[in-house]
Amino acid sequence: MKELDIKGKLAKKASSFIARMSSDGKRSALREIARLLEEKYETILNANSKDLAEAEKNNISGPLTDRLRLDIGRISSMAGGIRQIALLDDPVGEVLNMKRRPNGLLIGQVRVPIGVIGIIYEARPNVTADASGLCLMAGNAVLLRGGREAINSNIAIVGIINEALSASGVPAGAVQLVENTDRESALGMMKLNRYLDLLIPRGGGGLIRTVVENSTVPVVETGVGNCHAYVDRSADPVMAANIIINAKTQRPGVCNAIETLLVHRSIAGSFLPEICERLHRHKVEIRGDETVTGLVSSAVQATEEDWYTEYLDLKLAVRVVDSTDQAIEHINTYGSGHSETIITESYTNSQKFLAEVDSAAVYVNASTRFTDGFEFGFGAEIGISTQKLHARGPMGLRELTSTKYVIYGQGQVR
Amino acid sequence: MKELDIKGKLAKKASSFIARMSSDGKRSALREIARLLEEKYETILNANSKDLAEAEKNNISGPLTDRLRLDIGRISSMAGGIRQIALLDDPVGEVLNMKRRPNGLLIGQVRVPIGVIGIIYEARPNVTADASGLCLMAGNAVLLRGGREAINSNIAIVGIINEALSASGVPAGAVQLVENTDRESALGMMKLNRYLDLLIPRGGGGLIRTVVENSTVPVVETGVGNCHAYVDRSADPVMAANIIINAKTQRPGVCNAIETLLVHRSIAGSFLPEICERLHRHKVEIRGDETVTGLVSSAVQATEEDWYTEYLDLKLAVRVVDSTDQAIEHINTYGSGHSETIITESYTNSQKFLAEVDSAAVYVNASTRFTDGFEFGFGAEIGISTQKLHARGPMGLRELTSTKYVIYGQGQVR
């Protein structure tokens, strides 16, 4: 894969320059990118209309076309996102845990950029700008491999980013797009250990599985969210209903929306008919276990498969459980380790749920929809990690860095 | 691979128990392991003598046999290592960065165990005890896959560990040995994503490359150390010589020993003949560039390959450079990202070296031999990570944990 080799090498070279840029230098380069994206919006829209025409020709579905479509508002919010990243604290250079050892060595950890980050993503061209901004602000070079559907938009956006970077004195290679969008270029990225320090897939479950199964480059797995709400016996039913309606219906297509509702048996008879009626009014289809179908006439029978499914749609699996333990076991068995919430007034059960649910974000009495870099106060995010290594949960700038040990000596030997 | 499936499943099950054990419970289980290892030393020595007889039959080399051999002293130091781990701070449960958000949500990160850790290692049976102790103290289950050469010793040690764990009320599955030692069992571990959260290879470069290239389980790469010392123009020559002799000869077979010496051109004529004479007295073979072979009669010509090589032996590659920049470039090109040191009296060059060398541990005026969990004050280590994700440098208990976000709400929705 010649393109990958050339661009990988260039990225590696550029990464050592970006790693040493001052915070101010990075901020002004990002502001220049934002300015130029807005100034050259017509270039982007022209390219985008080619992608849209191609999508229409290929009978691509409505939701995908919607994710693909750019307009002035979306370009402006892309630029706004980059300006916001330029305002964040620069994590690079932070010194952690510096201590003098008994032998006089002064040992500490310094936060440093990771190096070259590869991103494989699907149809949204806004990822091109977002991911570039985040990687740059954390001092990394980035190699982007977007989907075929957005190739013209991506070429235009990366072209503008590079124009801005060049005007800011940043060498070529800091932000590059892999223009070959066939399967081989994605697989090639997954084996590009020589140049890539980290690979982040952003997209649906299929993409993420392919990357995890094939990549020899270290991966941070993001995004698959089979999230749960558990309504405990002691829950405030009004609070529980509000949280469930919010977590399921406010934006059903995102990873932090709930896909399964668990309800304690002792309140199922009173709580379920009402909440299902409310969900029904929001056009949510209920797939329940036998107790649920017995209580709710509109519910259809759930299969084992439903407990594993991230619908990303107005569908909700519902199960009645006998205890907090059983709810936790269900979540740890079927969940994807993203976000789960318990609604309860029981101190003991809330602590048990927080301690024993093995997910990136575990809530008491709040909607799972808050699992998000902005809501967590990071200012931005590159994705939500559902793995346990390196970073877990929303990944902001800090999660795009590594550390190294620095040791100040006075001639010490062992 | 039936054995892996059965043991993986059991490990996963046990991991949720260990994750919830109190610090005191873990400490007393570890102390029981230490006690029983010493009490049953004859069982271990009998098993070990079988491995040694097998090694002799197969004409296995002296150094490998030495790594394999146990005696009362080594068993007692194994037990001592476990007792030391039992004294360390328990990282599990630490709460990081807890903050109240403007909407009232209280969001923090809690340090949690990783889950199930796989270790693939070679001939040293002491790794069996060390790795088990570290993984357990950090709340993880461990699946061990040692080398064929040590299989009888490993079965004996793991048997005793399990006897101690069972007496301490820890369920089976916390520490298990994969008894099938063929290549397939190692490859099977590398694909055991269903049960393993992390895979750590401990051994030579060949093993580590195989794991990195084949594993779909997240890996922490450890141990390959092509380390450098750079003697700057302004170095104190006595300090420089002491550091070089120490870093090369004190224990040449370990990963934090230096393999290449870089010397500034302006001091090469005065410094090199003397240091090479001293190294020669320590039986170190010098492989130098043209300047070096011109100055030092015993030096042989280095090839490009030498700059990449981790000798793990009494050999040293030596190169003359024109500047700190060139030294840094050499290290970042040929090094393995482990440990490097500059010997200098120049403030500017020391800061430049610390900032620009891209390695896990970067020293000024000290021997690279200090890159070690004990020397860094962690009390113990599972290995030294040379990758940038998750952990970099010596990995102690903290590096065997992950985090999760816990969020306390009062009914918040978006």
pLDDT tens string A133-166? 999 999 999 999 999 999 999 999 999 999 999 9
Chain B residues touching residue A404 (CB < 8 angstroms): 358-362, 392-393
Which amino acid, B240?
A
Task: Provide the number of CB pairs (under 8 Å) joining chain A to chain B.
Answer: 206
Least confident of A161-165, B121-125, B298-302, B408-412: B121-125
Helix, strand, or coil (residue B144)? strand
Number of other residues whose CB lies within 10 A of the CB of residue B128: 25
Kindly determine whether residue B370 and residue A414, on different chains, have CB atoms separated by under 8 Å: yes
Q: How far is B242 from chain A (nearest CA, A)?
A: 7
Which token pair is B234?
């302004």
Chain A residues touching residue B387 (CB < 8 angstroms): 197, 218
Supply the pLDDT for residue A205. Answer: 84
Chain A residues touching residue B405 (CB < 8 angstroms): 360-362, 371, 376, 392-393
- pLDDT of A80 > 80? The answer is yes
Structural domains in chain A plus CATH codes:
2-222+382-408 (3.40.605.10), 227-370 (3.40.309.10)
Chain B residues touching residue A215 (CB < 8 angstroms): 216
For residue B151, give the H/E element and its range: helix B151-167
DSSP A377-389: TSS--SEEE-SSS
Q: Cα–Cα distance between A148 and B33 in angstroms, integer?
A: 57
Of B99, B107, B389, the CB nearest to A390: B389
* Beta strand pairing call for B106-113 and B285-288: unpaired
Asked if A331 and A357 count as a contact pair (C-beta separation under 8 A), the reply is yes
Of residues A361, A321, A389, the one with CA closest to residue B401: A389
Of A105, A361, A362, the CB nearest to B366: A105
Q: How far is B145 from chain A (nearest CA, A)?
A: 21
Counting DSSP H helices and E strands in chain A, the numbers are 15, 16
Burial class from Cβ neighbours inside 10 Å (0-12, 13-18, 19+) for residue A267 reads middle
Least confident of A104-108, B205-209, B271-275: B205-209
- With tokens 């990873």, the residue in question is A255
Residue partners of A240: CB distance under 8 A and separation at least 6: A229, A231, A271, A275, A343
Which token pair is A253?
């297509």
- pLDDT of B371 > 90? The answer is yes
Chain A residues touching residue B243 (CB < 8 angstroms): 411, 413
Kindly determine whether residue B197 and residue A375, on different chains, have CB atoms separated by under 8 Å: no
Residue partners of B80: CB distance under 8 A and separation at least 6: B34
DSSP A236-291: -HHHHHHHHHHHHHSSTTSTTSEEEEEEEHHHHHHHHHHHHHHHHHTTPEEEE-HH
Task: Tell me which chain B residue has its CA closest to the CA of residue A197.
Answer: B388
What tens digit of pLDDT does each residue of A356-395 get? 999 999 999 999 999 999 999 998 899 999 999 999 999 9
Chain A residues touching residue B20 (CB < 8 angstroms): 355-356
Kindly determine whether residue B407 and residue A377, on different chains, have CB atoms separated by under 8 Å: no
Distances B243 to A63, A135, A405 between C-alpha atoms, Å? 64, 38, 19
Residue from A362, A365, A404 whose CB has the most chain B CBs within 10 Å, to mutate: A404
Chain B residues touching residue A362 (CB < 8 angstroms): 404-407
Q: Cα–Cα distance between B265 and B289 in angstroms, integer?
A: 12
Residue from A140, A330, A358 whose CB has the most chain B CBs within 10 Å, to mutate: A358
What tens digit of pLDDT does each residue of A316-346 get? 999 999 999 999 999 999 999 999 999 999 9
Percent of chain A with pLDDT over 70: 100
Least confident of A222-226, B42-46, B84-88: A222-226
Average per-residue pLDDT in chain B? 96
Residue from B250, B410, B413 whose CB has the most chain A CBs within 10 Å, to mutate: B413
Which amino acid, A74?
R
Chain A residues touching residue B216 (CB < 8 angstroms): 212-215
Task: Tell me which chain A residue has its CA closest to the CA of residue B353.
Answer: A406
Asked if B112 and B138 count as a contact pair (C-beta separation under 8 A), the reply is no
Q: How far is B40 from chain A (nearest CA, A)?
A: 34
Helix axis angle, B23-39 to B41-57, nearest 10°? 60
Task: Tell me which chain B residue has its CA closest to the CA of residue A363.
Answer: B407
Distances B220 to A179, B18, B193, B392 between C-alpha atoms, Å? 31, 22, 14, 9
Q: What is the mean pLDDT of residues B381-393?
A: 94
Kindly determine whether residue A404 and residue B377, on different chains, have CB atoms separated by under 8 Å: no
Q: What is the mean pLDDT of residues A91-101?
A: 96
